[in-house]
Structure 1
Amino acid sequence: MDDRKVYVIPCSGIGKATASVGREATYRVVEDERPGCADTICLGLLTLGDEEAEAKLQEADVITIDGCAKDCARKNVEASGKPPTISHRVHDYLKEHRDLKPETVLDIGEGGRKLADVIAADIAEEIDELRNECGDPCAGEDE
């Protein structure tokens, strides 16, 4: 099996509840939904030009999740020399799921957790599609 991972990279979004939702969705994907197939890299390392972090992305598919329209995750991944394969904005999900509003940065609440679940489920499906394109399915693997 190809051990190539799909990297899911959320924004840092300090002070934004929507950024906290994006980070929660990321952890759900890499820890619960697609462990072994998905991983994450600290956005700060890419911002600082960390060569090891940048090298990991070059041979991988990358999915970004931004908490606001500034698109810091997407822009910093692009600046590292690797355009994201797929980019998401939490606000786009809020438009579709108006009842799932996060509460605060420190506690996104039930609505925020459910929104993170929706985002994580979409990303898990995207990872399955990306892995199937390269002949390396992930869904249903026993890990």
Structure 2
Amino acid sequence: MKEKTNQVVVLACSGIGKVYGALARETLYELMERVRPGVVVTTCLPLLMIEDPEAKKLVADHPVITIDGCPKSCSHKNLEAQGVNAARTYQAIKFYTAHKDLKPDGIVELDENGRKLAAIAADELAQVVDELAEGGGK
């Protein structure tokens, strides 16, 4: 069981070349840099895939939120491969379906709509982050 922590790990999709992968990553950056700096932390998904000891310890010691760009759910599946269950899981497209006026575009860098959508998604996740940081949820 994970102890009360002040940090929450967010693992975002590494789906290079996919708009919803870019949305997942941009949402993570918004969480780390604007919404909950110092609370939201991350690690490189490939480091977790190769079982880097520091990456494994990070996800084992803190609650984890996964944000995937497609139904393959690579972030979620790679976390489970380490024997860790995600506290919460999200598909980036769900944020778009809730805000269809902000159709994202761009694969390396999101367009203005994509950046706005990532900011909204991060704002929506703030309460979840706060709850997990205070030890709520698993």
TM-score (norm 2): 0.89
* CA deviation after TM superposition for structure 1 residue 28, in Å: 0.9
1:90-110 CA-partner distances (Å, limit 9, x unpaired): 111121111211111123111
* CA deviation after TM superposition for structure 1 residue 125, in Å: 1.3
125-134 or 89-98: bigger deviation: 125-134
Aligned position for 2:98:
96
1:89-135 CA-partner distances (Å, limit 9, x unpaired): 0111121111211111123111101110121112211111122346x
8 A contact 2:5–2:135 mirrored in 1: no
Aligned position for 1:13:
15
The alignment covers a number of residue pairs equal to 133
Q: Return the structure number with greater relative CO, CA threshold 8 A, min gap 6.
A: 2
Aligned position for 1:61:
63
82-91 or 118-127: bigger deviation: 118-127
* CA deviation after TM superposition for structure 1 residue 69, in Å: 0.8
1:58-92 CA-partner distances (Å, limit 9, x unpaired): 12100010011110011111111111100110111
Separation in 2, partners of 1:19, 1:89? 9
Separation in 1, partners of 2:31, 2:42? 9
What are the equivalent positions in structure 2 for 1:1-143 lying under 5 Å apart? 4-133=6-135
Q: Give the match's secondary structure for 1:12.
A: coil
TM-score (norm 1): 0.87
Separation in 2, partners of 1:42, 1:9? 8
8 A contact 2:16–2:108 mirrored in 1: no
Q: CA RMSD in A?
A: 1.4
Among the aligned pairs, what percent are the same residue? 40
